[in-house]
């Protein structure tokens, strides 16, 4: 504990004392971890998947997935990281007792983070562009045909797409360069409260519109007829993406946790708050969508095509539209820094580089690979990898293959290799916390239940069978 006290007294930086930067305060840890979970997933994926899959019934499936996969895997990753205090590859290397190359699981995770960043930065770039477009009144049309034409024109301009993405990567890199406590922790501690206030403002605007009650009913009244095996798999996949698990991000963040942090408690708080923020986004979106007679199930285009038209329909709509895109961008920042951090720490520790250089190399790599995603709707529209444009290829490769593979191997490693004794020692803080039965329950889920569920998601993603 001495390390934390020294920092709090401000005499030396944590890096000087323990040779590695880490989060300083307990609240900061929750904010940073929550910052990773909250992202475009809350404002974009969660609402559109809820919209296309039967509203509240889907939310229920999602909650079950979070309990049976999300929280157990998150706790495991955080515990592994904190025990080894290293990047995702070295964590697995340090903790594996035999010659089996378990570090590959960490490597797959880091690769997933890199690949997700390739397209995530592009979507974040579009959101940034939308902030300025909406400020200039350029999206103020109630006709989804017009707003979707505006979106098409944005994504088909190669130079604009590249520039927005580059600006986004630059911003994220600047936060990363400042380090774990001064960069990530500081930024997320400030951004999450701002995000909440803005989201609440839009949600209140939305529910006070005449005719909004249908939207609330849509979110709260389950329609079980929409549930199919495919819906269940979508909910499980969303739990992975939402909670940033299966890709080394939580291992990396865990390696910065304080020794006295309650890991299962943190995971519960983060998953719960993340769900509240996703629901709040739903409340900000659906009542307004219904109030003006738009379709809730527009799919991925809900954010960029439907939402501007919805805002354009309401009084003070332009103001709320600007606020909405600002908050969406803010939400994306915490997720992006966590994805980038997983890669930067690895590069830094593997090649013994200074943080600045690790960050620059990662940023340039992301910009280069990401540029193929940025150009997927223009210059590279005919450039297909396994039949997909780069943007879709990165999405499918990471969500359908790498994340479930990483998640599955991780469950096996924790449940069957690292084992119960090590696991319990880590998550109970060597017995200092009184969470023994909860920790035991989590362990059995990780050992027996989660791997089976993740395997089903994986086999479905691999096309072994399709629902
Ligand atoms: N959880 C983030 C979101 O919902 C996305 C993310 C995925 C972040 C994986 C980090 C790692 O947008």
Residue-level pLDDT, tens digit, the chain, 467 residues = 444 444 555 556 677 666 789 999 999 999 999 999 999 999 988 988 898 888 899 999 999 999 999 999 999 999 999 999 999 999 999 999 988 999 999 999 999 999 999 999 999 999 999 999 999 988 999 998 899 999 999 999 999 999 999 999 999 999 999 999 999 999 999 999 999 999 999 999 999 999 999 999 988 888 888 888 888 888 998 999 999 999 899 999 999 999 999 999 999 999 999 999 999 999 999 999 999 999 888 777 789 999 999 999 999 999 999 999 999 999 999 999 999 999 999 999 999 999 999 999 999 999 999 999 889 888 888 889 988 899 989 988 888 888 889 999 999 999 999 999 999 999 999 999 999 999 999 999 999 999 999 998 888 877 776 65
Contact between 370 and 155 under an 8 Å Cβ cutoff? The reply is no
Q: Is 20 left (phi over 0), alpha (psi -120 to 50) or beta?
A: beta
Q: Is 111 left (phi over 0), alpha (psi -120 to 50) or beta?
A: alpha
State how far the Cα of 26 lies from the Cα of 184, in Å rounded to an integer: 14
Closest Cα partner for 167 from 177, 159, 178, 155? 159
Contact between 87 and 255 under an 8 Å Cβ cutoff? The reply is yes
Q: Whose CA is closest to atom 6 on ligand 1?
A: 244
Is ligand 1 within 6 A of the CB of residue 239? no
| Separation of CA 332 and ligand 1 centre (Å) | 8
Specify the long-range contacts of residues 197-200, CB closer than 8 Å, at least 24 apart: 198/323, 198/324, 198/326, 198/327, 198/330, 199/277, 199/280, 199/281, 199/284, 199/327, 200/280
Is ligand 1 within 6 A of the CB of residue 134? no
Q: Whose CA is closest to atom 7 on ligand 1?
A: 244
Q: What 3-state class would DSSP assign to 377?
A: coil
Measured CA to CA in angstroms, residue 81 lies from 117, 266, 321, 331 at distances of: 21, 14, 40, 24
Is ligand 1 within 6 A of the CB of residue 253? no
State how far the Cα of 218 lies from the Cα of 169, in Å rounded to an integer: 36
Is ligand 1 within 6 A of the CB of residue 117? no
Contact between 330 and 136 under an 8 Å Cβ cutoff? The reply is no
User: Token pair 């936060």 is at which residue?
Assistant: 175
């Amino acid at each position: 504990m001495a390390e934390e006290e020294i920092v709090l007294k401000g005499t030396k930086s944590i890096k000087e004392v323990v040779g590695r930067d880490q989060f300083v305060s307990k609240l900061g840890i929750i904010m940073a971890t929550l910052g990773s979970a909250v992202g475009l997933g809350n404002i974009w994926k969660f609402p559109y998947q809820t919209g296309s899959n039967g509203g509240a019934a889907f939310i229920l499936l999602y909650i079950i997935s979070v309990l049976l996969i999300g929280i157990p895997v998150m706790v495991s990753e955080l515990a592994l990281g904190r025990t080894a205090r290293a990047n995702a590859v070295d964590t697995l290397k340090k903790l594996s007792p035999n010659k089996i190359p378990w570090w590959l699981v960490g490597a797959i995770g880091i690769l997933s983070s890199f690949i997700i960043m390739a397209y995530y930065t592009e979507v974040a770039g579009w959101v940034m562009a939308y902030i300025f477009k909406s400020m200039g009144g350029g999206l103020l049309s109630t006709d989804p045909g017009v707003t979707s034409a505006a979106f098409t024109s944005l994504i088909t301009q190669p130079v604009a797409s590249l520039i927005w993405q580059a600006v986004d990567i630059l911003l994220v890199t600047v936060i990363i360069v400042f380090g774990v406590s001064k960069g990530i922790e500081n930024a997320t501690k400030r951004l999450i409260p701002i995000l909440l206030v803005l989201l609440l403002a839009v949600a209140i605007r939305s529910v006070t519109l005449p005719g909004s009650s249908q939207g609330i009913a849509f979110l709260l009244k389950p329609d079980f007829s929409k549930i199919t095996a495919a819906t269940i798999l979508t909910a499980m996949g969303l739990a992975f993406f939402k909670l940033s698990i299966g890709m080394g991000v939580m291992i990396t963040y865990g390696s910065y946790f304080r020794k006295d942090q309650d890991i299962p408690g943190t995971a519960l708080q983060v998953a719960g708050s993340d769900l509240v923020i996703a629901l709040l986004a739903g409340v900000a979106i659906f009542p307004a969508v219904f109030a003006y007679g738009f379709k809730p199930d527009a799919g991925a285009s809900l954010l960029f095509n439907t939402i501007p038209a919805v805002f354009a329909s309401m009084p003070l709509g332009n103001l709320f539209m600007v606020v909405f895109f600002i908050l969406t961008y803010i939400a994306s920042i915490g997720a992006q820094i966590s994805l980038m951090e997983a890669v930067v720490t690895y590069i830094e520790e593997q090649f013994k580089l200074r943080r600045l250089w690790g960050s620059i190399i990662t940023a340039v790599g992301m910009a280069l690979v990401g540029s193929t995603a940025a150009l997927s709707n223009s210059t590279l529209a005919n450039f297909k990898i396994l039949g997909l444009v780069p943007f879709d290829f990165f999405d499918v490769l990471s969500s359908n293959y790498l994340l479930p593979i990483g998640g599955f191997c991780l469950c096996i490693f924790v449940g069957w290799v690292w084992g119960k004794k090590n696991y319990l020692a880590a998550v109970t803080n060597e017995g200092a916390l009184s969470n023994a039965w909860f920790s035991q329950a989590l362990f059995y889920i990780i050992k027996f239940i989660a791997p089976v569920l993740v395997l089903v998601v994986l086999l479905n993603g691999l096309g072994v069978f399709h629902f």
